[in-house]
Amino acid sequence: MAVKQAEILERLAATIAARLKSDPATSYVASLAAKGQDAILKKVAEEAVETLLASKDGDKLHLIRETADLWFHSMVLLAWHGVDSADVLAELQRREGMSGIEEKASRR
């Protein structure tokens, strides 16, 4: 991943973390968080389904947009738990070059 693209995730994570503490009347993230974890989970699930449906449709632009929504809401969920996107990127880096079978076996 290019440095500039990783920076986008860092900036987005910082924005989400700041907005979690914002006024729910002026921030979508704050309003979602104010509804609690179940509302965030519901939104992640909804975006996951929309991503799957976009894939089935075969429309690449629709798939990209729905995946962006899924990533965004997943990042809101991570922030809710105090987990930073850098933590997820570090886990992906740990797995880099490892087969999926090998990685899964290492979790036991």
On whether the CB atoms of residues 80 and 20 are closer than 8 A, the answer is: yes
pLDDT grade for 3, boundaries at 50, 70 and 90:
low
pLDDT grade for 107, boundaries at 50, 70 and 90:
confident
Q: What does the pLDDT read at residue 78?
A: 97
As given in the structure block, the two tokens for residue 3 are: 């440095």
Topology classification of domain 3-106: Helix Hairpins (1.10.287)
Q: What is the pLDDT of residues 13-55, one digit of tens each?
A: 999 999 999 999 999 999 999 999 999 999 999 999 999 999 9
Rounded distance between C-alpha atoms, residue 24 and residue 59, angstroms: 34
| Residue 7 pLDDT exceeds 60 | yes
Please tell me which residue, 4 or 26, carries the higher pLDDT value. Answer: 26
Q: What does the pLDDT read at residue 22?
A: 96
> 20-29: long-range contacts (C-beta < 8 A, 24 or more apart)?
20/76, 20/79, 20/80, 29/76
Hey, where are the domains in the chain? 3-106
